[in-house]
Amino acid sequence: MGSLRNYLLDLVMGILALILTTSAFLLWVVLPQGYFATRLVWLDIHKWTGLALVISVLLHLVIHARWLVRMTQQLLGRIGKQAET
């Protein structure tokens, strides 16, 4: 179940990142000026997709918090051992 959850969360984050990148490109290159209806729609898409991506990344960090702590401790332990020698 954990592997499926991680896969689905990573998939969602990847899709959101692609949508965010596409909307950023469109707003920056294709629709750089003016307040046309199309631009307003893409601004909303960009804003809400960005918020969803931030939430999914925070969820990802919460799910993997123990792993992050263990890896940081291991890394700091190695650095400390190297400094002693």
Reported confidence tier of residue 85, pLDDT bands at 50, 70, 90:
low
Tens-place pLDDT, residues 20-72: 999 999 999 988 887 788 889 999 999 999 999 999 999 999 999 999 999 99
| Residues sharing a CB contact under 8 Å with residue 43, sequence separation 6 or more, in sequence order | 27
More confident residue, 85 or 9: 9
Of 67, 68, 79, 63, the closest CA to residue 2 belongs to: 63
The boundaries of the domain holding residue 7 are 2-84
Cβ(56)–Cβ(9) below 8 Å: yes
Of 54, 53, 32, the closest CA to residue 42 belongs to: 32
How many structural domains compose the chain? Answer: 1
Of 2, 9, 8, the closest CA to residue 60 belongs to: 9
